[in-house]
Amino acid sequence: MASQPNLVPREFPTPGFVKLNHSEKIEEETLPFYEHQPDHEMAISEHLKNSNHHFGKQLVRLVMDSFEVVGPQGKHTCLLYQPLGMNLAEFRNWFPDNKFPKGLFQRTIQLVLISVAFTHQNNEDEMKHPIARKVLPDCNIYYSRPMLVNEALCVLFDLGEARLGIQNQNGDIMPGMDWDCEVDIWSGGIMEDRILDDEQHLTEIFSLLGTPPPEFLIRNDNCFKYWDKQGNWKGNITIPEQSLEMRFGQYDGEDKEPFLNFLRRILRWLPEERPTAEELTYDDFLMQPLLVASGLCLASLTRLIEE
């Protein structure tokens, strides 16, 4: 069999694009913790590639390849992925009042949970419309190219903070204590508006969940910076007056209690009290459309799926 000929490298246009100020930080460069250290994400991706088959595997965006370029700060490793469309925050802005329809929200959360369960268990337009970039003396830094809306499934991506193994981990993800894979369930239920402040984070949690149990407080001495031994708040930030019911007032009637119960299963002080991603996939609220359409009870449907 004859070997395939080498492909001729494409010659991209040099004019016709917006030239950005090279001193202005863009996209990931604006993040305070941004560094070019992809080795961890590559290792996680390789581990997941070699895992057993699981439906959620197709819902996780894994590294396809990598290469190095030389930039103003030295060598920079570039990761190659399948292209994605818009993220959920951008997609949400297409809907009235920036809110997902209930059915779309339910299906999306289920798909995300399936992809998380997997991780726990295991056409170029540059020719016609060059993307904006910063032109440096020895390299170019491109803006990410926006993708059109399509009918593909949502996927889980950005594994830079993922960890191998199920043992307790540490790091500033859940203030006050070590964490394990159950932190992903917790993250699915919180909204922080990108505020990276432990005390602000804890006041929001305290206002929504109430007094933490003693078992939570004694696991890490850092907790006593914010609570006394009886669980009374002693931080410097005032606890906001709010509740889960107030925060999610847009749900009413038959939707309100199932949705609040869904959140209450997630937002538990103690990690061991939270359901697994797979268990949460079959929550009454997420299964509501299918149950209504089929007339089945949840227990019956779960048995059918398992069989």
Percent of the chain with pLDDT over 70: 70
pLDDT of residue 148: 46
Mean pLDDT (the chain, rounded): 77
Tokens of 226: 């914010």
- Which of 87, 82, 77 is closest to 35 using CA atoms? 77
Q: For the chain, list the domains and their CATH numbers.
A: 15-164 (no CATH), 168-275 (1.10.510.10)
pLDDT band at residue 167, thresholds of 50, 70 and 90?
Answer: low
- Identify the pLDDT of residue 169: 65
Instruction: With beta carbons less than 8 A apart as the criterion, state whether 239 and 207 touch.
Output: yes
pLDDT of amino acid 150: 47
Tokens for 289, please give them: 């459309």
pLDDT for position 1: 45
Residue 58 pLDDT level (bands cut at 50, 70, 90): confident
* Cβ atoms < 10 Å from Cβ of 152: 10
Q: Is the confidence at residue 256, as pLDDT, over 60? A: yes
| pLDDT per position as a tens digit, 283-299 | 989 888 877 666 655 55
